[in-house]
Structure 1
């Protein structure tokens, strides 16, 4: 078995500023899926921390891929939602899903955390060899 890892940390204020600009629709659509937006917007006071944590999660997954965002995955092809207990999980679409399959990967695990100023994520991808 091989384990690929990725981590990322982001300032919540950077995500808030990007979401609050007049280009918000473009940034939001380029980075987040409709289900992610629905989840984050439901968090009221901590919505920016939730957006930032998902942004960091997408970066962490792409780093675990070993490629970063771009060639093998776009931001909105990596979706991070929560199960009924609050545990985050990853759905992949498009090129990200295809690359995951090309790697022969078996699973992705992710953890997200945030405080007022920062959000952090850690992702692991397991490959059965």
Structure 2
């Protein structure tokens, strides 16, 4: 059963401006440790690709927070919600700590789609709840 749906669109130029103002500290507030590693590698090879990566993660986490109905308040935090990917390239939501426990207690699982084009990154999240027998 669908528990919630969330969507978000993010202006990549806004993310780029925040990076210019605050540097890596901004990315460090949004990204998990694993995401930071990927962001640094992409940014080193092609800075614009790093900005797009950060924007899609920002957007996906916003969409997830809307789908679970928490917004950006505990147990939802930027770092406890990670956007990973399967070997096929399919993006997945990976939860950690109290956010993972909160979702598991409610039987929630999430599916995510992310995209970026020119100036915008967008995400769509569907959260499902296991039906109780």
The CA deviation string for residues 10-29 of structure 1, in whole angstroms up to 9 with x for no partner, is 100111122222x3343222
CA RMSD of aligned residues (A): 1.6
Q: Distance in 2 between matches of 1:103 and 1:19?
A: 36
Aligned to 1:112: 114
Equivalent in the alignment of 1:100: 103
Deviation beyond 4 Å, 4+ runs, structure 1 = none
Q: CA separation in 2, counterparts of 1:77 and 1:13?
A: 25
1:30 aligns with 29
- Paired residues, what number? 127
Q: Deviations over 1:34-68 (max 9, x none)?
A: 21122233332422111101100000111111111
- TM-score by length of structure 1 reads 0.88
Q: Which runs of 5+ in 1 are unaligned?
A: none
Residue 14 of structure 1 corresponds to: 14
Any conservation in 2 of the 1:53–1:112 contact (CA below 8 Å)?
Answer: yes
| Partner SS, residue 76 of structure 1 | coil
TM-score (structure 2 length as normaliser):
0.86
1:74-89 equivalences in 2 (<5 Å): 74-89=77-92
